[in-house]
Amino acid sequence: MAEILVSNIRQVSTTPDGGTPNSWSTNPSLSADGTRIAFRSSATNYVPGDTDGFQDLFVENLDTGAVVRANTASNGSQPNAPPEEFSFLSANGNRLAFETTASNLVPQDTNGVVDVFVKDLTTGRTLRASASADGTGGNDASDSGSLSADGHRVAFWSLATNLVPGDTNNAADVFVKNLDTGAITLTSSNGQGIPGNTISIPGTPALSGDGTKVLFGSTASNLVPGDTNGHSDLFVKDLRTGEVTRVSVSDSGGQANGDSYAGALSADGTRVMFSASRTTLSGTTPTGWPTSSSRICAPGK
């Protein structure tokens, strides 16, 4: 009988000196190169001076054992609110995207809503991603940050209407922020740049490794021609050309007869995996299977 053997297993949620944390840790996220792991913890002995009294985000260097607290301001000061559930490491492990209502991580954070932040683990700098090009914070909540492989671009979902000019659809949208220049783009729009006519789905934004393509979910019917199924679909937008492709379709291009959601985009931007309710996308559903299934497909194929 075939066996799966696992070796070199070690506990990684330890203090830098190899000690045992004094509380639980959860929600691990590993960088693509396997050198860093991010996790949430209520432990107070990972780093000195952890007295904020709530869960924090930590990133451990698996080569050196060094642990840093990531949901802090650029000067290292503690947050005044805990992080939300979602955090995302860049492929190279140098940056972490996370969301929180903390108002003291960047100057002039007075909007009082959940924002998306990115921590540069090399320099310690904390940036607010869910802000307009001039740094104005969003006027409503943002979440679901997803980084490009090098951590220089972040995609996120937002209810805010003041992040870009002309956002008048009164619906949740997906944005991509260039963290080097501050430029921000509403990406849940059609090839002519017109925003979706209904909401984008939270939790779905994902960037290709080079940050040139973004995957998102939407119930909008005006993103591609012939979208008449009345269900949520998944789309990939090429940020270089503006081209939008609906990927939750059958091999022959037929529409799904159920909702599609929870997508993941390959690093090269050529493959998408997603979940869908019982549909005609891939033929019949085997007897006894649940009414949702996953499918791997290639955008535009």
Distance CA 297, CA 301 (A): 7
Average pLDDT of span 77-83: 96
With a cut of 60, say whether residue 6 has pLDDT above it.
Answer: no
With a cut of 60, say whether residue 290 has pLDDT above it.
Answer: no
With a cut of 60, say whether residue 88 has pLDDT above it.
Answer: yes
Provide the pLDDT for residue 185. 96
Provide the pLDDT for residue 18. 77
Answer with the residue of higher pLDDT: 83 or 251.
83
Provide the pLDDT for residue 1. 43
Provide the pLDDT for residue 17. 79
Domain boundaries in the chain?
A: 25-297
Provide the pLDDT for residue 38. 94
* pLDDT one-digit tens code per residue, 97-113: 999 999 999 999 999 99
CATH architecture, domain defined by 25-297: 6 Propeller (2.120)
Lowest mean pLDDT among 121-125, 191-195, 246-250, 288-292: 288-292
Average pLDDT of span 292-299: 48
Nearest to 300, CA basis, from 242, 256, 235 = 235
Nearest to 248, CA basis, from 267, 230, 226, 275 = 275
Q: Write down the pTM of the prediction.
A: 0.89
List CB contacts of 287: < 8 A, sequence separation 6 or more: none
Provide the pLDDT for residue 143. 94
Backbone torsion region of residue 269, taken as left when φ is above 0, otherwise alpha when ψ lies between -120 and 50, otherwise beta: left
Distance CA 117, CA 180 (A): 14
Beta pairing partners, 246: 235
Provide the pLDDT for residue 207. 95
